């Protein structure tokens, strides 16, 4: 006949299990809330840096708020600032100038990025050096890049006029940054040189996702290099192109360093883009009400562009 188990021993053996369950339950609660606690600093920074300034700007846009006039500080005027802007010829001109600047920059960046990305994706000796070289403009600060190109575009002693004159392309020096006919092209060229590496890097990452089997199958069918590029490569990298265009377009719209350093918006208002005019209204004219309304319009336009890009990118991914 077997001996019955000692109840005290049974209780003693069960005690550690109880503590283990309790400790597991406590650690489970800690693990449950730990991710949210870690996200608190991030959300706090987003609220302080993004949402509070945005909300303040929206409030300013409905007020007459000029620091130079104490009687017109924090006075509610409704939509008057918005009506004033759309009746302002300078504001309309800045919008048109921005569209020209963005369109010229995006088209130039896209063509150059597709060419350089295709070269960088090929296997050849010194490819790593080539990839590092094409990324150098992106690493240069916008102010430094703008100042360097300003010297090169200088009318009397700039290297661009010197080279063109030596080659016999032009007979006399061209005032690149002084003439309204050439100044926009000059700042667009500078922005293309500065921003294209970012788009190139994104397109190269897209090219590396394409399977070589597709090209081998096309070779067996006798497809030419152009057909392979337009029927295989381009359709497969379209999502990457659209993603890159989102970043480059935002950088082109928001970064005013190049135009501010090279032309200051001149000659006249030939290169005064929307964001540069908004900067002047805020920090030179000290009109926070009108500047706030301009900022709200700018955020709305940028949101629409991102929506269009994102929608097209989703269509390409779903296909």
Alpha-carbon gap, residue 241 to 226, rounded angstroms: 19
CA 43-44-49 angle, 5° bins: 100
pTM for the full model? Answer: 0.83
Residue-wise pLDDT for 264-308, tens only, equals: 998 989 999 999 999 999 999 899 999 999 999 998 988 888 888
pLDDT above 60 (res 5): no
Any idea which architecture 89-318 has in CATH? Answer: Orthogonal Bundle (1.10)
Instruction: Tell me if 247 sits within 8 A of 25, measured CB to CB.
Output: no
**Residue of 146, 145, 155, 158 whose CA lies nearest to 178:** 155
pLDDT above 80 (res 169): yes
pLDDT above 70 (res 16): no
Task: Kindly list the distances between the CA atom of residue 157 and the CA atoms of 145, 150, 152, 168, 218, in Å, as whole numbers in the listed order.
Answer: 18, 11, 8, 17, 53
> Could you give the 3-state DSSP secondary structure of residue 236?
helix
Residue-wise pLDDT for 221-272, tens only, equals: 888 888 888 899 998 999 899 889 988 988 898 889 999 999 999 898 999 9
Write down the domain spans for the chain: 7-61, 89-318
């Amino acid at each position: 006949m077997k001996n019955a188990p000692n109840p005290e021993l049974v209780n003693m053996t069960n005690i550690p299990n109880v503590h283990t369950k309790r400790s597991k339950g406590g650690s489970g609660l800690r693990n449950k809330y730990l991710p949210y606690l870690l996200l608190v600093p991030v959300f706090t920074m987003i609220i302080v840096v993004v949402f509070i300034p945005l909300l303040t700007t929206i409030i300013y846009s409905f007020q007459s708020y000029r620091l130079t006039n104490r009687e017109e500080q924090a006075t509610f005027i409704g939509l008057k600032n918005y009506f004033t802007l759309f009746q302002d010829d300078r504001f309309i001109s800045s919008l048109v100038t921005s569209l020209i600047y963005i369109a010229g920059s995006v088209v130039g960046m896209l063509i150059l990025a597709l060419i350089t990305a295709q070269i960088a994706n090929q296997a050849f000796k010194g490819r790593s050096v080539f990839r590092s070289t094409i990324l150098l403009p992106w690493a240069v600060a916008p102010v430094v890049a703008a100042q360097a190109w300003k010297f090169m575009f200088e009318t009397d002693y700039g290297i661009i006029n010197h080279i063109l004159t030596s080659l016999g392309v032009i007979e006399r020096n061209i005032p690149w940054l002084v003439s309204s006919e050439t100044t926009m092209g000059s700042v667009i060229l500078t922005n293309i040189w500065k921003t294209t590496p970012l788009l190139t890097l994104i397109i190269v990452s897209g090219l590396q996702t394409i399977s070589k089997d597709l090209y081998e199958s096309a070779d067996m069918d006798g497809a030419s290099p152009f057909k392979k590029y337009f029927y295989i490569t381009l359709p497969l990298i379209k999502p990457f192109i659209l993603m890159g265009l989102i970043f480059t377009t935002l950088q082109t719209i928001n970064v005013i360093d190049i135009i501010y350093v090279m032309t200051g918006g001149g000659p006249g208002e030939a290169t005064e883009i929307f964001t540069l005019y908004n900067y002047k209204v805020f920090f030179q004219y000290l009109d926070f009400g009108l500047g706030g309304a301009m900022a709200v319009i700018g955020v709305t336009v940028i949101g629409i562009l991102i929506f269009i890009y994102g929608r097209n990118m989703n269509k390409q991914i779903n296909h």
